[in-house]
Amino acid sequence: MSTSATDHLNMRVVREPHYGPTTPGKLGIWAFLLSDAFSFFGLLLTYGVFYIQTPEWIPDYLPKLGIPFTAVMTFVLICSSVSMVLAHDACVHKNHAKTVRWLGLTILGGLFFLGGQVYEYTHLIGEGLIFGNSLVGESRYASTFYLITSFHGAHVLTGVIYLIVIFINLIKGKYKDGNHTAIEQVGLFWHFVDLVWILVFAFVYLIPATI
């Protein structure tokens, strides 16, 4: 083998390291998701402690959370996770048209969720559910609700932006050769966001309404 060919091979090894069956990008995503999971765990744990300590969690004069509307948002978000799986599968099988279609639907699902959250906030604020009001019970109810849901909403927004960047690259012709690593990585983030929301929906919306 010539010297130039050997140097080129060494450069490829340096640029494309692998750790077993995974890549540095996937390791980075998993490390971030693990640390982020602890953040959500801390928020939900705090919510649980406040909920147990507060005799009247939702004062009668404050609006109740709209469970049916939020259930629709949750359903759409779960469907977007399914479309993300289908987008990745289409990319693996080098079906560019289907990859574009399913990834586009995933983005629309994320935008629908964000729009629903803005509508929900506007409605609740208009009815008097304000972040950090002075009364102890009211402050805990409102503040933990807005803190947890907006923190998750920021993740959805980040995920949508991430998906749009991948989508633009996809339209430009990238990933046609079956190189699905980038789509797989954004998929991991998106599935995490969807899974966390199921927990948030259960803790923040369903449990207070049934107990």
pLDDT in tens, 9-66: 444 433 444 444 566 667 788 888 899 999 999 999 999 888 888 777 777 776 778 8
Q: Is residue 15 part of a domain?
A: no
Domain ranges, residue 174:
36-210
- Asked whether residue 11 is domain-assigned, the answer is no
pLDDT above 60: residue 76: yes
What is the separation of C-alpha 59 from the centre of its chain, rounded to a whole number of angstroms?
31
Give the pLDDT score at 64: 79
Asked if residue 124 is part of any domain, the answer here is yes
Assess if residue 143 is contained within a domain. yes
pTM: 0.82
In a domain, 191, yes or no: yes
**85 CB-contact burial (10 Å; exposed 0-12 / middle 13-18 / buried 19+):** middle
- Which among 208, 206, 199 has a CA at the least distance from the CA of 44? 199
Number of domains comprising the chain? 1
* Residue predicted with more confidence, 53 or 103: 103
Q: What is the rounded CA–CA span in Å between residue 39 and residue 45?
A: 10
∠ Cα 93 96 98 (to 5°): 85
The pLDDT > 90 percentage for the chain reads: 52
CATH code, domain carrying 85: 1.20.120.80
- Asked, for residue 2, whether it belongs to a domain, the answer is no
Q: Is residue 4 part of a domain?
A: no
Answer whether residue 94 is part of any domain: yes
